[in-house]
């Protein structure tokens, strides 16, 4: 058992993305050619996952820049487990640390959040009596949504104006993103607790949004219709 574990650890060190291992105590005459084939496959899958999860972010770089960014990311963040989508979730934070333009790191955050909401394992069906469990809310410093709708042209960056977006998957297994206003956020938070009722939301609205006079029932009905709240 100990020998198997040692072999697994050595192979992980040799094959993992970002690895530059060229020799091993297990192969005194040099690494077998077949290991390079395996390494190319492992690395290719990782790089393909990064590109497929962040297609619009990739557009903000030249081909050479993207390759260098990808290599650096995996050297600093080698995949820790088998699910590759989960291994690239740290890419937006990596871009922030590299101090790329803020709207680029926000675009990466947008893309991974969209994916996370879509693949969320939460059950989405009418009658759960609470906020859709796949809902994810993000605050951006740029107008990201319309820019993405326009396919995020690198020559026309988004305006620098705060925007709050809600990402979720509906009961038909369709991913959706929409802008959020304070009243929408208040109701999503209120109904995140199973059994919450609309009447109990009114005191919260009066305290947090005293100038808001929009009928809560009208807003709730829209959120129920869009599967944001599952009543």
**Range of the structural domain that residue 170 is part of:** 122-231
Q: How many domains does the chain have?
A: 2
pLDDT at residue 18 tops 70: no
Are 87 and 147 in the same domain? no
Work out the average pLDDT over 163-185.
97
The Cα 63–Cα 145 span in angstroms is 25
Q: Do the domain assignments include residue 141?
A: yes
Contacts of 199 (CB under 8 A, 6+ apart): none
Q: Do the domain assignments include residue 106?
A: no
Task: Report phi then psi at 125, rounded to 5.
Answer: -155, 150
The Cα 98–Cα 67 span in angstroms is 15
pLDDT at residue 1 tops 60: no
Q: Do the domain assignments include residue 114?
A: no
Q: Do the domain assignments include residue 35?
A: yes
Are 5 and 86 in the same domain? yes
pLDDT at residue 50 tops 90: yes
Are 83 and 132 in the same domain? no
Q: Do the domain assignments include residue 1?
A: yes
pTM reported for the whole predicted model:
0.90
Q: Do the domain assignments include residue 115?
A: no
């Amino acid at each position: 058992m100990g020998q198997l574990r040692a072999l697994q650890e050595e192979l992980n060190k040799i094959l993992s993305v970002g690895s530059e291992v060229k020799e091993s105590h297990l192969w005194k005459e040099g690494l077998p050619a077949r290991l390079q084939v395996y390494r190319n496959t492992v690395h290719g899958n990782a790089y393909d996952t990064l590109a497929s999860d962040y297609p619009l972010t990739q557009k903000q770089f030249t081909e050479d820049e993207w390759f260098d960014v990808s290599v650096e990311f995996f050297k600093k963040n080698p995949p820790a487990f088998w699910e590759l989508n989960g291994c690239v979730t740290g890419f937006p934070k990596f871009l922030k640390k590299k101090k790329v333009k803020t709207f680029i790191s926000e675009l990466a955050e947008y893309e991974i959040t969209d994916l996370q909401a879509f693949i969320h394992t939460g059950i989405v069906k009418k009658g759960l009596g609470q906020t859709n469990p796949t809902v994810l809310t993000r605050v951006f410093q740029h107008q990201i949504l319309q820019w993405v709708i326009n396919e995020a042209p690198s020559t026309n960056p988004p305006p620098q104006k705060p925007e709050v977006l809600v990402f979720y998957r509906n009961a038909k297994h369709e991913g959706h993103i929409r802008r959020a206003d304070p009243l929408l956020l208040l109701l999503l938070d209120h109904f995140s607790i199973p059994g919450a009722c609309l009447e109990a939301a009114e005191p919260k609205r009066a305290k947090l949004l005293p100038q808001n006079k929009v009928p809560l029932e009208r807003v709730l009905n829209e959120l129920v219709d869009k599967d944001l709240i599952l009543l």
